[in-house]
Homo-oligomer: A and B are copies of this chain.
């Protein structure tokens, strides 16, 4: 009897301690379909993501993963400047024009990667573009591919592809049969229904969706009487787009059973929480890097951990999409 009681008590103690520990330290690792990362903060594409050294610095600063600049078949210098400026309210307009060193230079560099969870963003016009690039990268350590179907200011790529669900279906399907590496489709708001693009990507077998890219926008200087961006039209990022991005994540997760990475206007941990409650399994951090610098990843992870403790969430999975219950 005494023994049994003792065992019971020890068991209770262990359960109690586990509760206590899990309450003290919620688990912020997250599964985005087949993709697993230590924490849900990911560097967004096009932000600083140009070299292994930078990826390493950002990963060491606390990011769960990093997305590269969107890489294309050939090197590109991008547009004339101004290519990025503030529109106030922590909003930014950019028309970098997808400058990148091209797949050959980039794949050479990526072969050096040993330990960083790198998501390679690819941009192209045809299924052949994408397949070719994926093949060139097959010997590198890559966490996933992100297909940029949503850059709003470069012709024939990005949104011009994303706006064509059939093409999206083809691209995704062909890449899926060419590689085991998970595929993420990054969508934005173009001139067709972005939900159709997602539908097509899902049919093609995509593993996750990133939503959203920047929104087509512009600014005119009233003294110069000219558009400011070198390319005149560009993409709006930062705070102003958050409520639109939240709506998209909520809509996608209400309609499709696909893991989502939320992106757009995340500024602090509470924004990250909002995205997760809306249905995202992870988040991407873009323009805010200017204000908060690389510190932002660990700041968000810390805030998220505190929130989870306070609200008694043991892991991210419990939180994902919970606002849809109401």
A241-287 contacts to B, CB under 8 A, are 241-244, 246-247, 250-251, 270, 273-274, 277-278
Q: For A278, list chain B residues within 8 Å (CB).
A: 218, 220
A222 → chain B, closest Cβ, in Å? 5
Looking at A15-23, A64-72, A185-193, the stretch in contact with chain B turns out to be A185-193
Query: Which one of B217, B239, B322 contacts A244 once the chains associate, using CB atoms below 8 Å?
Result: B217
A81 → chain B, closest Cβ, in Å? 15
Q: A88-B239, A218-B250 are in contact. Are A323 and B226 (CB under 8 A)?
A: yes
Q: A220-B323, A222-B277, A270-B222 are in contact. Are A91 and B243 (CB under 8 A)?
A: yes
Number of copies: 2
Q: For A222, list chain B residues within 8 Å (CB).
A: 270, 273-274, 277, 307
Q: For A270, list chain B residues within 8 Å (CB).
A: 222
Q: A191-B192, A323-B227 are in contact. Are A274 and B220 (CB under 8 A)?
A: yes
Answer whether residue A204 sits at the interface, using C-beta atoms and an 8 A cutoff.
Answer: no
How many Å lie between the Cα of A282 and that of B247 in the bound state? 31
A189 → chain B, closest Cβ, in Å? 7
A188 → chain B, closest Cβ, in Å? 12
Answer whether residue A174 sits at the interface, using C-beta atoms and an 8 A cutoff.
Answer: no
Indicate the member of A93, A225, A326 with the most B CB atoms within 10 Å. A225
Answer whether residue A236 sits at the interface, using C-beta atoms and an 8 A cutoff.
Answer: yes
Contact B247 A326 (CB under 8 A): no
Chain A count of residues within 8 A CB distance of the other chain: 45
Contact B215 A244 (CB under 8 A): yes
Contact B192 A192 (CB under 8 A): yes
Q: For A93, list chain B residues within 8 Å (CB).
A: 243
Residue of B nearest to A92 (CB): B243
Q: A225-B326, A274-B220 are in contact. Are A244 and B236 (CB under 8 A)?
A: yes
Residue of B nearest to A224 (CB): B326
How many Å lie between the Cα of A91 and that of B238 in the bound state? 13
Residue of B nearest to A240 (CB): B240
